[in-house]
Structure 1
Amino acid sequence: MNLVLLASAVGCGNSEQKSSKNSAKEATAKQSLTHKPTPITQKITPCLWVDKDAKAVVKYYLSIFKDGKLKEFHRYKNPPQENGQAGQDYFETAVMEIGDIEFSILAAGPYFKFNESISFVIKCKDQAEVDYYWEALTANGGEEGACGWCKDKYGLSWQVVPVEYFDLINSSDAKVREKAMRNTFKQKKLILSALK
């Protein structure tokens, strides 16, 4: 795969900068007449690279996070690769909103995989909510980890945590802190009653 070609296809490469200044000015002038820039609603947006089918990825997450929505979907044709090797004909992007956060989805081939160096913390109001997210994320190919960590079916890591947990591990009472921390290491899904 030629990442430079992929990047330039969505306008993030620098190949366009080598064209004439007049062409760039003309394109900018035309765009300003026909398109108003999208207002920035969120300064930093996590981008999740998946193998394929951005719509299916969004559908999966919206089935778990019920207050979410699909905001955008686009399909782009990949340019031919310079080395002549066959590659994907197209790639897709989507923007979804879950938990009041926008996520970008880039479905562009099996070149990168998730790992635990990035995870998303779900702050749950009670044990029932912990149970719901844990079951939903570990079902259908997801997997349980330790200490409240799990992976969904795409391999993305989540920490499913009751908000009261933070009070326990940061308590001014050393016994409360120590019990909560000690029992955390004995659990997969966090069970609040066993941490208290």
Structure 2
Amino acid sequence: MSKISPALLYGDRAEEALDYYCGIFPDAIVTDRSRYPDGKLLAATLEMGGQTWTLINGYEVPFHESVSFMVSCADQAEVDHYWDSLTAGDGRESQCGWLFDRFGMAWQIVPTRLPELMGDSDPVVAQAAMQAMMGMTKIVIADLESAVEAAVAASGAGS
């Protein structure tokens, strides 16, 4: 178990959340379930994304976007999978790669290409990537790269 790990309250929907996340994240494995005497789930522990998570049935407390979980994605197919899966149903899109799943949990779906471009030593590249991201909901890698290419061409740095 991780020394520090999130423990999340899902009202009375922890079992639903457990099944939901296990269906989205291919590496999710339930490692423990505790039940009340009537059989209802009290809490469950799972390993997901290299992190230990505890989902708890408890009182209803809304999640808030001041806490989010970032999913680092290798390519657009991965971005699309997590974005589409987590916004399905009652999930909702936000901006700059942020979304809220059907439980109200905030997620950031970030292709590894985004921090590469935003951290580029060329300020034209970094600024173009930042501006492109600011105009997006789901991050689209091809659109980031097109914006960077256009900015570099306009600056004359590509000549």
If the length of structure 2 is used for normalisation, what is the TM-score?
A: 0.85
Shift of 1:91: 6.7
- Tell me, yes or no, if structure 1 residue 124 matches structure 2 residue 84: no
- Tell me, yes or no, if structure 1 residue 99 matches structure 2 residue 59: no
Q: Is the 8 A contact 2:15 2:41 kept in 1?
A: no
What letter matches 2:137 in structure 1?
A: K
| Equivalent-residue separation in structure 2 for 1:192 and 1:50 (angstroms) | 33
Q: Residues 81-136 of structure 1, C-alpha deviation per residue, up to 9 Å, x if partnerless?
A: xxxxxxxxx771110111121100111132x1101000010000001110110000
Which of 148, 153, 164 aligns to 2:113? It is: 164
Structure 2: gaps of 5 or more residues: 146-159
Q: Is the 8 A contact 1:47 1:104 kept in 2?
A: yes
| Equivalent-residue separation in structure 1 for 2:16 and 2:123 (angstroms) | 47
Q: How do 1:3-14 residues align onto structure 2 when only pairs under 5 Å count?
A: none
| Equivalent-residue separation in structure 1 for 2:88 and 2:64 (angstroms) | 18
- Tell me, yes or no, if structure 1 residue 184 matches structure 2 residue 133: yes
Query: What's the counterpart of residue 26 of structure 2?
Result: 66
**What secondary structure does 2:99 align onto?**
strand
**What secondary structure does 1:154 align onto?**
coil
**What secondary structure does 1:135 align onto?**
helix
What letter matches 2:54 in structure 1?
A: S
**What secondary structure does 2:139 align onto?**
coil
Q: Is the 8 A contact 1:91 1:108 kept in 2?
A: no
If the length of structure 1 is used for normalisation, what is the TM-score?
A: 0.70
Q: Is the 8 A contact 2:75 2:111 kept in 1?
A: yes
**What secondary structure does 1:150 align onto?**
strand
**Largest Rg, 1 or 2:** 1
Shift of 1:71: 1.0
| Equivalent-residue separation in structure 2 for 1:75 and 1:54 (angstroms) | 11
Aligned residues: 143
What letter matches 1:96 in structure 2?
A: L
Q: How do 1:140-151 residues align onto structure 2 when only pairs under 5 Å count?
A: 140-151=89-100
RMSD of Structure 2 on Structure 1 (CA): 1.4
Query: What's the counterpart of residue 37 of structure 1?
Result: none
**What secondary structure does 1:122 align onto?**
strand
Runs of 4+ in structure 1 off by over 6 angstroms are none
Query: What's the counterpart of residue 19 of structure 1?
Result: none
| Equivalent-residue separation in structure 2 for 1:129 and 1:54 (angstroms) | 25
| Equivalent-residue separation in structure 2 for 1:53 and 1:153 (angstroms) | 11
**What secondary structure does 2:127 align onto?**
helix
